[in-house]
Amino acid sequence: MGNPDRGGVPGGQGQPAGEAATPDSAGPEGTAPSRGKRAWSAAGRLASIVVLTVMVFAALVLIIVPRVTGSHTYTVLTNSMAPKYPPGTFLVARPAAYSELTYGDIVTFQLESGKPAVETHRIVGFGSAQTGEKTLITKGDNNDVDDPNPVREVQVQGKLLYAVPYAGFLANAVGNSDRGLWLSVGAVVLIGYGIVLILKTVRGLRRGTKAAP
């Protein structure tokens, strides 16, 4: 007698009765979802790295460097230094020796000695008081005339280290009285968030390595 019928497929073994045929999971259609997941995972890791880079840069420029260098931070409120330093610009002024200030330096100084109101203008000349004390002649880049009063050494708060456009709006929203406290809190938050992103990225890379065939 011949072999019993095994599914009606001549010359080969048939599929057991009652079992439906399934597509080959190794084929192109079966691999599409895994490829899509890997692409999304890679995009997520890239986005995390970009966000981390921005956060670290912001922490360094706006918080850490001013703290480390002992600099003061200010926000431009008027157009006197426009267009290079328009309103909203975040200024970092580092203490500098009065004798080292030169023509063209941008300095922040008290309008009146001992009072909180300050101005940030460029040095356009030098003079001397009746006592023989050296003074600075200053002027806003966008102003037509020099400042009316010479600047004495005691009034100078610092020399411009660098400026960040528009970041001053955020500083103003925080407020001047508690700015030091909020900058410290902000530094902790940014650094902590950066560490979390790093850990998540490393964990995602490990998982991707283990899942790879």
pLDDT tens per residue across span 202-211: 776 666 665 5
| 87 pLDDT above the threshold of 50 | yes
Distance CA 195, CA 184 (A): 17
Residues above pLDDT 70, as percent of the chain: 69
Residue 116 DSSP one-character state: S
Q: How are beta strands 156-164 and 106-110 bridged, if at all?
A: antiparallel
Distance CA 156, CA 179 (A): 21
Per-residue confidence band for 10, with pLDDT thresholds at 50, 70 and 90 = very low
Question: Per-residue DSSP letters for 45-94?
Answer: HHHHHHHHHHHHHHHIIIIIHHHHHT-EEEE--SSTTTTTS-TT-EEEEE
Distance CA 100, CA 33 (A): 65
User: pLDDT, tens digit, for every residue of 93-110?
Assistant: 999 999 999 999 999 999
Per-residue confidence band for 59, with pLDDT thresholds at 50, 70 and 90 = confident
User: pLDDT, tens digit, for every residue of 109-168?
Assistant: 999 999 999 999 999 999 999 899 999 999 999 999 999 999 999 999 999 999 999 888
| 190 pLDDT above the threshold of 70 | no
User: pLDDT, tens digit, for every residue of 22-35?
Assistant: 444 444 554 555 77
3-state secondary structure at position 28: helix
Q: In what order do the strands lie in the sheet with 72-75?
A: 72-75, 90-94, 156-164, 106-110, 118-128, 134-139
Give the residue-averaged pLDDT of 2-25: 48
